[in-house]
Amino acid sequence: METYQYTIHELQKKLAGQEISARELTETVFARISAVDDKVNAYLILDKNKAMDQAAAADKLLADKKGGPLCGIPLSIKDVLCTKGLRTTAGSKILENFIPPYDAAVIEKLRAAGAVIIGKVSMDEFAMGSSNENCAYGAPHNPWNLDYICGGSSGGSAASVAADECIASLGSDTGGSIRQPGSHCSVVGLKPTYGRVSRFGLLAYASSLDQIGPLTRDVTDCAIMLNVISGYDRRDSTSVDRPVPDYPAALKPGLNGMTVGIPTEYFAEGLNPEVNEAVLNGIDKLREAGAEIVEVSLPHTEYGVAAYYIIAPAEASSNLSRYDGVRFGYRSPEADSLLDMYNKTRSQGFGEEVKRRIIIGTYALSSGYYDAYYKKASQVRTLIIEDYKKVFSQCDVLVSPVSPVPAWQLGEMVDDPLSMYLSDALTIPANLAGIPAISVPCGFSSAGLPIGLQIQAGHFEEEKLLKAAFNLESALDIKGRKPDIA
């Protein structure tokens, strides 16, 4: 087994015992990137000089027994998080030369924990997409089959972990953007409760939905990462001031006393048979671990996609109005007047999907249509939240597929945005409700493409989520299986 293939918790021991240095580990990761990223195309920006400096600093801390939980661990970062002095594009031409003057809150936490930040990875432009094909700098490829999408919008994060081009990654999830690529790339992806992790320094898409979370090789690493990035931040008005549990301590064998709900609406017509079979097998494993399995209903699930594609574009319309060519980012050199500069800058700087969602959102918020669209969507959102509250009075967690289908071929749905939107039908409700949800690898299709199982829990009940995920992972013979990129 190569050094770059170990998990965080395995490397913690090796680094602490000085079996390997942080500099050696970081060098092996960069060598791996050099060997495979021309095929995977996960990275937008690499910063080897600074990464090696961080690794050297980590080695000093490790020698003095002062290293944090991520000391010396090389991580990739979704290019939607501000990194001081390191270009941050959000996958968009409009920010192709933007260098933030500050770190996002989660980046500050990673640095304080001793992590080595090796670069920024690809994403759908401003996190708008389900395949990562909306990136202005080219789509990453699924390490399990390079002709297939790796999911979106955190596709570069999932691909970099699956391809062993980092030890773990940070992504963001607005409608499934951590969990869906996690499922398609056979890595663990967690969307925390809204307010659990600070959004300060996250380039906003839809502020009431966005949440930052980890993508990792296993559930233990996911718990370690979540511990590091969680916590109250006064700079984020939506951050919740409550203690951060010891998430790794929740990873105990056995699910006796836990009730697992199976929402019937998530197993409806259109679910791929191989996805259905893999998820049902995962449910059997949870039962064998001691969980009680009950059937439940979330009756307003079918309206989730429609509500989301009013609320998210409406918030995007507002958030993306700041990209006007005046203060920062791209400015069209061809303008004849201020209004012409606005029009040309935004037309040339934004991609087609971003422009589509801005137009939808602006229309939904416009005079005469607000009540018919945005207000109605917000009311539907409340009904979805009430569904979850009722269900979580009956069970501890919910289990379902992550995506109705395995990954599809690059280019297959790029001209069919409606089908692309519907691929998020099973992940969107958790964002609308603000609850935590995780994707855990649970199998492969007959074509060798990964399949993930989704577990959802009530607000701030990540410990239940992680315990169920840990037991599922322990029962399945999937962890450690690697794609053959060559």
Find the length of the chain: 486
Residue type, 446: S
**Over the stretch 197-234, which tens digit does the pLDDT of each residue have?**
999 999 999 999 999 999 999 999 999 999 999 999 99
pLDDT in the model for residue 306: 96
pLDDT in the model for residue 328: 87
pLDDT in the model for residue 417: 83
Judge residue 39's burial from the number of C-beta atoms within 10 Å of its C-beta, 0-12 exposed, 13-18 middle, 19 or more buried: middle
pLDDT in the model for residue 421: 84
Q: Which residue has the higher pLDDT, 158 or 477?
A: 158
Confidence bin at 420 (pLDDT 50/70/90): confident
Four-residue CA torsion sign, 324, 327, 329, 334 = positive
Is the per-residue pLDDT at 418 higher than 90? no
The number of CA neighbours under 13 Å toward the Cβ of 329 is 24
- For residue 291 the two structure tokens come to 């969980």
Helices 22-40 and 48-63: angle between axes, nearest 10 degrees? 150
The answer to whether the beta carbons of residues 185 and 159 sit under 8 Å apart is yes
pLDDT in the model for residue 4: 97
pLDDT in the model for residue 233: 98
- pTM (two decimals): 0.97
Is the per-residue pLDDT at 325 higher than 80? yes
Confidence bin at 479 (pLDDT 50/70/90): confident
pLDDT in the model for residue 329: 92
Q: Which residue has the tokens 């791996």?
A: 32
Beta bridge partners of 190: 438
Is the per-residue pLDDT at 419 higher than 90? no
pLDDT in the model for residue 368: 86
Closest CA relative to residue 399, chosen from 292, 313, 270, 272: 292
pLDDT in the model for residue 480: 84
pLDDT in the model for residue 193: 98
pLDDT in the model for residue 269: 87
In angstroms, the CA 67 to CA 17 distance is 12
Helices (H), 333-437: 338-349, 352-365, 376-391, 417-422, 428-433
- For residue 409 the two structure tokens come to 């071929």
DSSP code for 201:
T
In angstroms, the CA 198 to CA 89 distance is 20
Is the per-residue pLDDT at 486 higher than 80? no
Question: Considering the chain, what percentage of its residues have pLDDT values greater than 70?
Answer: 100
Q: Is 252 a catalytic residue?
A: no
Q: Is 153 a catalytic residue?
A: yes
Catalytic residue among 153, 154, 160, 169: 153
pLDDT in the model for residue 398: 98
As a whole number, mean pLDDT of residues 47-51 equals 97
Residue type, 22: A
**Over the stretch 379-406, which tens digit does the pLDDT of each residue have?**
999 999 999 999 999 999 999 999 999 9
**Over the stretch 456-474, which tens digit does the pLDDT of each residue have?**
999 999 999 999 999 999 9
Judge residue 269's burial from the number of C-beta atoms within 10 Å of its C-beta, 0-12 exposed, 13-18 middle, 19 or more buried: exposed
Judge residue 447's burial from the number of C-beta atoms within 10 Å of its C-beta, 0-12 exposed, 13-18 middle, 19 or more buried: exposed
Is the per-residue pLDDT at 91 higher than 80? yes
pLDDT in the model for residue 416: 85
Judge residue 274's burial from the number of C-beta atoms within 10 Å of its C-beta, 0-12 exposed, 13-18 middle, 19 or more buried: middle
Question: Considering the chain, what percentage of its residues have pLDDT values greater than 90?
Answer: 93
Neighbours of 277 (CB within 10 A): 14
pLDDT in the model for residue 337: 94
As a whole number, mean pLDDT of residues 150-176 equals 98
Catalytic residue among 154, 169, 177, 423: 177
Domains contained in the chain, CATH given:
3-259+394-475 (3.90.1300.10), 302-378 (no CATH)
pLDDT in the model for residue 29: 98
The answer to whether the beta carbons of residues 146 and 39 sit under 8 Å apart is yes
In angstroms, the CA 48 to CA 46 distance is 6
Four-residue CA torsion sign, 458, 263, 152, 207 = negative
Residues 6+ apart with CB under 8 A from 288: 475
Q: Is 92 a catalytic residue?
A: no
As a whole number, mean pLDDT of residues 89-102 equals 97
Closest CA relative to residue 328, chosen from 104, 136, 126, 94: 94
Beta bridge partners of 43: 121
- For residue 485 the two structure tokens come to 């990129």
As a whole number, mean pLDDT of residues 74-97 equals 98
Confidence bin at 243 (pLDDT 50/70/90): very high
As a whole number, mean pLDDT of residues 65-85 equals 97
Catalytic residue among 21, 76, 78, 423: 78
The maximal CA–CA distance of the chain, rounded, in angstroms, is 70
Closest CA relative to residue 36, chosen from 5, 72, 6: 5
**CB neighbour burial string for 109-145, b if at least 16 within 10 angstroms, e if fewer:** bbbebbbbbbbbbbbbbbbbbbbbbbbbbebbbbbbb
Is the per-residue pLDDT at 195 higher than 90? yes
> What is the average pLDDT score of the chain?
96
pLDDT in the model for residue 435: 98
pLDDT in the model for residue 415: 84
Closest CA relative to residue 410, chosen from 451, 371, 449, 366: 449
The answer to whether the beta carbons of residues 89 and 98 sit under 8 Å apart is yes
Neighbours of 17 (CB within 10 A): 9
